[in-house]
C-alpha cells in the first residue's frame, strides 16, 4: 500500500511533524503511524466528512462577501507538554505586562516619566482613546480576553508575531475544530492524551461575571455583536449560546441616567457586563463615530460612572499598535522585573532618518507592516512582491514612518496539509487565547492554528483565505493512550518566569506592588 507521505517534500522551514524525511518527531509518532496506512481516497472521504460536519453545524466565515464553511485540515497540529509550558507562561506573562501598561497609560503615566515608552508613540496611536483616561475597571481588568499570535522560526523557537487585546476572534473555531475531529478521526484522537478545550465558555463567563460593577451580586452579561453581516457573527452567537447569555445588537440596548438596559419581550432588564465584539470606533456614537448605528449611545459614560463594565476595555487598541509591540519586551522588564519568556520577531522601528531610508531601500528583503493593520491587510512580504509594490511601499514609508514597522522575514514552520488528494507542507501560526478573571490568567490549552493554504504563502489570516487545524496539547511528552476528560483539565495560570531580574529601576508604583505580592 502506498504511503500518504511518500511524496511529502520538506520545505525550507521547521517542519512540525518531521525531523527529517520520513522520520517523525517523538510527539507525532502515534499520529504518523495512524495516518501512514491511509490511502488518498480515505483522506478525501474524511475531508468530505469534515466539510459536511461544518456545513451541518453552520460553522462559517465570511470571505470575499460569501459565507462558506471554515476550512479545517485533516492533520492536527501537536504541541508537546514541554512546548506548551513555554507557550502558556509566555502568553500569560505578556498579558500581565500589557495589563500593567494599559493601567499606566490611562492612569499615572509612569511609563512616560521613566522614559520607557515615548509619550508621542501613545498619543499618535489610533487606538488611544482619550475618553478612557481615568476609567478604572471594577476589578482592574482591561484585557478580559487576549489573543497572542505566535510563530515558530527556522530553528524551532516560538516567537511573538503580534498582540490582540481588543476583540480577538477565532476561539469558536478552536471549540468546533475539536468537535469535528473527534467525529471524523475518533481512533487517531484516542491514541493521544489531549487536553480538552471545552472549558473556555465557562472560564470566559466567570471572568465576565467577576468584572461586574461593585455591589452587583448576580450580574446580567450580554454579548454585543455588530450583527449577522459581521465576518465573525458565528462566533458571537456560539459564545452567547455556550455561556447561556443574551446575544444583542446595539439597537437592543438603551442607556439613560448612566445605566444600560436591554429591551426584552418582558420589558427592560438591566445590563451589567457587555462583552463587546465591536471596535471602539463604533461602540458609542457620543464618543466616536456619530454615524455609528452598531453601538449604544452613552455606554462609555455609563462605564465611567461604574454601572456597566465593557469587556475588553475601551482603549485597549493602543496595546495592539505594532510599534508598541516593539516595546513589549522592555515593558515586561519594567513592570514585571522578568525577562521575556518568548521573544519578538526581530523588528525595525522607523524612528530615525537613517533607519527609514535603509528600510525603504530594502523593502524587497523585509516584511513591512502598517502599525494599525489587522487581518493580514497591508502587509508587504518583500520577496513575494513585485517591483511596483516595492516602489509604492518605499514611498509610503518615507511619507509616514510612524505608520510602519519592518521585520526580518521568518520562514514560518510548516505542517502536513491536505491539498486536493496529497499531503503537502503549508505554513502555519498559532493564536493561544488567554482569559483574565482578575485572580489569574488562564490560557486555553490549544489555540487556533491557522494555515496559509496557497503554496509558499505566509499570510495565514482567515480573511485572506487561510484555513485552520485542530491544535492538540499533549498531556505528556511520551504520547499516551487515552483522551483526558474534563475533570483532568489542569489550570494553566500565570506561572511566573524565574529568569534573571534585569539590572534597572522599576517604576515605583509597580515595585511596591511586587513587594506586596511577594
Q: What does the DSSP 8-state code read for residue 460?
A: -
The predicted pLDDT at position 67 comes to 66
What whole-number distance in Å separates Cα of residue 356 and Cα of residue 300?
A: 38
Peptide bond into 312 cis (omega under 30): yes
| Sign of the dihedral defined by the CA atoms of residues 14, 18, 19, 21, in that order | negative
Nearest Cα residue to 495 out of 89, 99, 86, 145: 89
Q: Identify whether the C-beta of residue 213 lies closer than 8 Å to the C-beta of residue 308.
A: yes
The predicted pLDDT at position 477 comes to 62
Q: What does the DSSP 8-state code read for residue 365?
A: G
What whole-number distance in Å separates Cα of residue 448 and Cα of residue 430?
A: 6
Q: Identify whether the C-beta of residue 149 lies closer than 8 Å to the C-beta of residue 141.
A: no
**Domain spanning 347-407, CATH class:** alpha beta
Q: Which residues, 6 or more positions from 438, have their beta carbon under 8 angstroms from its beta carbon?
A: 139, 140, 141, 207, 210, 211
The predicted pLDDT at position 488 comes to 31
The predicted pLDDT at position 498 comes to 28
What whole-number distance in Å separates Cα of residue 5 and Cα of residue 19?
A: 14
The predicted pLDDT at position 7 comes to 85
Measure CA of the first residue to CA of the last residue in the chain; give whole Å. Answer: 61
User: What are 151-206's pLDDT values in tens digits?
Assistant: 999 999 999 999 999 999 999 999 999 998 888 888 777 778 899 999 999 999 99
The predicted pLDDT at position 462 comes to 67
In Å, the largest CA–CA distance within the chain is: 73
The predicted pLDDT at position 512 comes to 36
For the chain, the structural domain boundaries read: 18-79+415-485, 81-176+194-339+490-517, 347-407
User: What are 252-301's pLDDT values in tens digits?
Assistant: 999 999 999 999 999 999 999 999 999 999 999 999 899 999 999 999 99
Residues shown for the chain: 518
Locate 26 and state its grid cell.
517523538
In the predicted model, residues of the chain with pLDDT beneath 70 are 1-2, 60-68, 375, 462-465, 477-518
Which H or E run includes 69? strand 66-69
The predicted pLDDT at position 1 comes to 40
* String of DSSP letters for 392-418: HHHHHHHH-GGGEEEE------EEEEE
Amino acid at each position: 500500500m502506498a504511503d500518504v507521505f511518500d511524496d511529502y517534500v520538506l520545505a525550507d522551514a521547521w517542519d512540525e511533524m518531521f525531523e527529517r524525511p520520513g522520520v517523525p518527531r517523538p510527539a507525532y509518532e502515534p499520529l504518523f503511524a495512524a495516518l501512514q496506512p491511509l490511502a488518498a481516497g480515505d483522506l478525501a472521504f474524511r475531508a468530505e466528512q469534515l466539510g459536511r460536519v461544518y456545513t451541518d453545524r453552520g460553522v462559517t466565515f465570511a470571505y470575499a462577501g460569501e459565507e462558506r464553511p471554515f476550512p479545517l485540515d485533516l492533520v492536527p497540529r501537536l504541541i508537546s507538554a514541554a512546548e506548551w509550558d513555554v507557550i502558556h507562561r509566555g502568553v500569560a506573562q505578556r498579558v500581565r505586562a500589557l495589563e500593567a501598561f494599559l493601567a499606566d497609560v490611562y492612569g499615572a503615566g509612569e511609563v512616560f516619566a521613566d522614559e520607557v515608552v515615548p509619550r508621542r508613540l501613545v498619543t499618535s496611536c489610533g487606538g488611544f482613546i482619550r475618553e478612557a483616561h481615568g476609567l478604572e475597571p471594577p476589578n482592574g481588568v482591561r484585557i478580559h480576553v487576549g489573543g497572542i499570535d505566535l510563530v515558530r522560526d527556522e530553528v524551532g523557537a516560538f516567537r511573538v508575531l503580534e498582540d490582540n487585546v481588543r476583540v480577538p476572534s477565532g476561539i469558536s473555531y478552536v471549540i468546533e475544530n475539536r468537535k469535528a475531529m473527534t467525529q471524523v478521526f475518533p481512533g487517531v484522537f484516542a491514541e493521544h492524551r489531549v487536553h480538552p478545550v471545552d472549558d473556555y465558555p465557562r472560564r470566559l463567563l466567570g471572568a465576565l461575571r467577576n468584572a461586574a460593577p461593585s455591589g452587583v451580586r448576580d450580574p446580567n452579561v450580554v454579548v454585543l455583536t455588530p450583527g449577522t453581516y459581521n465576518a465573525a457573527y458565528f462566533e458571537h452567537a456560539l459564545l452567547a449560546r455556550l455561556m447561556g447569555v443574551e446575544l444583542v445588537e446595539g439597537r437592543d440596548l438603551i442607556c439613560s441616567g448612566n445605566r444600560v438596559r436591554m429591551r426584552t419581550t418582558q420589558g427592560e432588564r438591566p445590563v451589567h457586563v457587555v462583552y463587546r465584539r465591536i471596535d471602539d470606533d463604533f461602540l458609542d456614537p457620543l464618543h466616536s463615530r456619530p454615524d455609528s448605528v452598531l453601538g449604544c449611545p452613552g455606554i462609555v459614560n455609563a462605564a465611567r460612572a461604574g454601572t456597566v463594565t465593557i469587556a475588553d476595555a475601551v482603549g485597549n487598541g493602543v496595546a495592539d499598535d505594532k510599534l508598541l509591540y516593539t516595546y513589549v519586551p522592555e515593558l515586561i522588564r519594567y513592570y514585571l522585573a522578568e525577562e521575556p519568556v518568548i521573544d519578538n520577531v526581530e523588528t525595525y522601528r522607523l524612528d530615525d532618518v537613517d533607519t527609514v531610508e535603509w528600510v525603504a531601500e530594502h523593502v524587497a528583503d523585509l516584511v513591512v507592516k502598517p502599525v494599525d493593520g489587522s487581518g493580514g491587510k497591508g502587509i508587504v512580504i518583500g520577496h513575494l512582491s513585485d517591483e511596483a509594490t516595492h516602489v509604492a511601499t518605499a514611498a509610503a514609508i518615507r511619507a509616514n514612518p510612524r505608520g510602519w514597522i519592518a521585520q526580518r522575514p521568518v520562514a514560518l514552520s510548516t505542517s502536513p496539509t491536505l491539498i486536493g488528494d496529497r499531503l503537502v507542507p503549508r505554513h502555519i501560526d498559532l493564536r493561544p487565547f488567554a482569559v483574565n478573571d482578575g485572580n489569574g490568567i488562564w490560557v486555553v490549552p490549544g489555540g487556533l492554528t491557522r494555515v496559509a493554504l496557497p503554496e509558499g504563502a505566509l499570510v495565514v489570516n482567515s480573511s485572506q483565505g487561510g484555513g485552520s487545524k485542530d491544535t492538540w496539547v499533549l498531556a505528556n511528552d511520551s504520547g499516551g493512550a487515552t483522551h483526558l476528560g474534563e475533570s483532568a483539565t489542569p489550570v494553566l495560570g500565570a506561572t511566573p518566569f524565574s529568569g534573571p531580574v534585569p539590572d534597572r529601576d522599576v517604576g515605583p508604583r509597580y515595585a511596591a506592588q511586587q513587594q506586596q505580592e511577594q
